[in-house]
Amino acid sequence: MRIGHGLNLLLVLTFSLEVESKGGRGTGRGRSRSFRVTQKRMIKRTAKSGSIERTQVFRSALLGAGAGYLVASKGRFYIQNPRDPILFEERKFYWDSQYYPINDTLPVQCVNPIDPQDPQLGRIYFSNESHAREIVWGCEGGAECCGYDCCMDDGIFSSILRLAFVIVLLALIGLLLIECIRWMIYCIAQFRTKNSFNPVSTHI
Ligand SMILES: *[C@@H]1O[C@H](CO)[C@@H](O)[C@H](O)[C@H]1NC(C)=O
Ligand SMILES: *[C@@H]1O[C@H](CO)[C@@H](O)[C@H](O)[C@H]1NC(C)=O
């Protein structure tokens, strides 16, 4: 009877824990919904580091003598026409956010700042002698900005994984608690039976 009571109590406890974790999933859903809403508008993202190889190729495409984007003069590179995008692997890259045309098909605006100390890109200037500050391009909805590329956003997927992990962890903790309490109840019961039968056992 007592073991049954303890189990019932634990079941109620684990159930409330589950409800709590379901509440967590609810807020997760809410978050992804608002994410989708903001996606309709423009999201501006600073690029994370991407493939070093691709960045190298992008740099040489940009600075290459034949590319025609820059004119070298006295150790500096001057941007020919800041409005002209740089075409690289079927994407358009712009010299500054102000030249980036907002485009509904590419709702993520990626910005990769140029380090003025960069030995190559740090020598790129506008015709008014001010440093080029950033490279800007567009990515599809839900994409992340990596290097000079768009990569897939795994945010929703990883949050589902995280949720699954939390649920499994809670279930394990619940099971462990049930086993502990069962063991305790068992020990108490053993102790009690031993105590009540002790006088008899000493006679044997
Ligand atoms: C938006 O981007 C797409 C894909 O790059 C392009 O085909 C389209 O012409 C652009 N639209 C505008 C208004 O620039
Ligand atoms: C120089 O030109 C760039 C690009 O048009 C602009 O962003 C920057 O503010 C200008 N700098 C000065 C000092 O006018």
- Is any ligand 2 atom within 6 A of the Cβ of residue 126? yes
Report, as ranges of residue numbers, the positions in the chain whose pLDDT lies below 50. 1-39
Quickly tell me which residue has 């590319």 as its tokens: 67
What pLDDT is stored for residue 2 in this prediction?
Answer: 45
Q: How far is the CA of 139 from the centre of ligand 1 (A)?
A: 11
Q: Which of the listed residues 103, 110, 136 should we mutate to test ligand 1's pocket, taking the one with most ligand atoms within 8 A of CB?
A: 103
Shortest-distance Cα residue to atom 3 of ligand 2: 126
Q: Which of the listed residues 87, 99, 105 should we mutate to test ligand 1's pocket, taking the one with most ligand atoms within 8 A of CB?
A: 105
- Is any ligand 1 atom within 6 A of the Cβ of residue 150? no
Which ligand 1 atom is at minimum distance from the Cα of 91?
A: 5
Ligand nearest to the CA of 81: 2
What pLDDT is stored for residue 191 in this prediction?
Answer: 86
Model confidence over 78-129: pLDDT tens digits?
999 999 999 999 999 999 999 999 888 999 999 999 999 999 999 999 999 9
What pLDDT is stored for residue 123 in this prediction?
Answer: 94
Which ligand 2 atom is at minimum distance from the Cα of 133?
A: 7
What pLDDT is stored for residue 45 in this prediction?
Answer: 87
- Is any ligand 1 atom within 6 A of the Cβ of residue 140? no
Which ligand 1 atom is at minimum distance from the Cα of 104?
A: 1
